[in-house]
Chain A
């Protein structure tokens, strides 16, 4: 059975909430039922059939094709199955994700995976600000699952993150891991200033040897910790691009002492 494919006919006139377009919700629906699904836009609703050309049958492997960033909350609260986006998503892609696999073959907007609980998100391009962070008005960021951004991530990546793994293959913006509660963030590229600002617990792994921790982090030395080996092996299993970290020696900083101070920042030590 071929994957159910929804191809965007033309650029929508406004932002549209695409959260109903998840495998769990579309499974078992006939073509006519699919066409009648209502999607909320700005002050108006759209029928799915008017916006998308539908092909294929298997909703467990759903593909949204030709997206241009005007669809927000793509894959929000998805529970199972796979959702592949060809193109760019708007903000809040994978918000409150509970399971399944969301793949974005393009760029993602702000708040990627905000408040997600489980499952995995992969973005081949860049992600906007607040990836893996808390939804607006909430106190905890992602509480489980994995986000992998092959490109760059914007500011505040992992803000208030509570649990899970956020991997950024490119660069991260300002305030990466700010107010982090727990979990693991790894950045293979460069990282902006104020990384770990007010982080309470959790682990921030930085491959950028030039990173300067905030003055509220204390140097812990270069301990050879088994936990680092386990963490790095995990990163490599999720994305082989992180393999260089297996040979690295890390300098460990503890902080942020302006908050609970139980977080750790592992910065790759410069090679001599």
Chain B
């Protein structure tokens, strides 16, 4: 089998291992872009990893006035969790504390009716904040709740759809130094953000602290991925080729495998563009030997 490379950057013949998750899409609108971003950033904050955040969430895309149910500027938010129960809890908390509280906002279901496997409570839970003054309206077959708040009314749909999804798609950028790695990751993220149905849950879409399963400390379920830490070369069984001084990972959660694969392809191509002269040395991916997650994204196929 021939060695893989793009623009002189070696692509390791391995695969990213991803696992099943549950997800929902929330459409948040507001009077203008400023407030819709405030709400979206707040609702998707502290949601980088299910390891400690309870969910993984991010902004999928911005929506124009024509794309939202109420004709106002909006964003689509994707929230991923390990189970429907976890997702319900996170949805309630985040919509209740970050969207309901944000001036001028409204929240709608973003999952197509026919695609939803189950339904999560949105307004059906948040309505109790109205203390009996809440109003239900059935508009065109969809039930909305109108919750009186000091600013006016918070409008949201009663339910949002739940879909099966995939979390943990990833690839690693191995670069000569920190500057080269960050620049490559930024190029990758910029391209990947154009793909729908996915989010990059870590700050700026990039994670510097990729983890392995388990730890020498019993209380930790994950710990630093020592095989890819440049500062541990020489003291641990390192997986880093010679010359690598910095590694960054991009994690992708998506509603379907195709979207994750497309995002990986866009990201890897952007990271590798003129890679050899920009200090990008190799691309690889994180897996657990194929034993943990049922979804395998082979880099050879992804970049084909």
- Residues of A at under 8 Å CB distance from B? 163-164, 182-184, 201, 203, 223-227, 229-231, 233-234, 237, 262, 264
Among B71, B106, B137, B153, the residue within 8 A (CB) of A203 is B137
With A184-B137, A227-B144 already in contact, 10 other A-B pairs whose C-beta atoms are closer than 8 Å: A163-B138, A183-B138, A184-B139, A203-B137, A223-B153, A225-B146, A225-B153, A234-B139, A237-B140, A262-B135
Q: List 17 A-B contacts (CB under 8 A).
A: A182-B136, A184-B137, A203-B137, A223-B153, A226-B70, A226-B152, A226-B155, A227-B135, A227-B137, A227-B153, A229-B71, A230-B70, A230-B139, A230-B144, A230-B155, A262-B133, A264-B135
Q: Does B45 contact A (CB under 8 A)?
A: no
Among B71, B140, B155, the residue within 8 A (CB) of A227 is B155
Q: Does B69 contact A (CB under 8 A)?
A: yes
Q: Is the interface of A mostly helix, strand, loop or mixed?
A: mixed
A230: chain B residues at CB < 8 Å are 69-70, 137, 139, 144, 155
**CB-based contact A227/B146 at 8 Å:** yes
Interface size class of B (residues with CB under 8 A): 10 to 19
Q: Which residue of B lies closest to A224 (CB)?
A: B152
Q: Is the interface of B mostly helix, strand, loop or mixed?
A: strand
Among B106, B135, B136, B140, the residue within 8 A (CB) of A226 is B106
B133: chain A residues at CB < 8 Å are 262
CA distance A201 to B136 in the complex (A): 10
Within 8 A of A (CB), among B123-147: 133, 135-140, 144, 146
Count A/B pairs, Cβ under 8 Å.
43
B71: chain A residues at CB < 8 Å are 229, 233
CA distance A227 to B106 in the complex (A): 10
CA distance A42 to B292 in the complex (A): 76
**CB-based contact A229/B138 at 8 Å:** no
CA distance A203 to B144 in the complex (A): 14
CA distance A54 to B155 in the complex (A): 51
A162 CB → nearest B CB, Å: 11
CA distance A237 to B142 in the complex (A): 15
CA distance A236 to B106 in the complex (A): 21
A201 CB → nearest B CB, Å: 7
A257 CB → nearest B CB, Å: 14
A3 CB → nearest B CB, Å: 27
**CB-based contact A231/B152 at 8 Å:** no
Q: Which residue of B lies closest to A183 (CB)?
A: B138
A262: chain B residues at CB < 8 Å are 133, 135
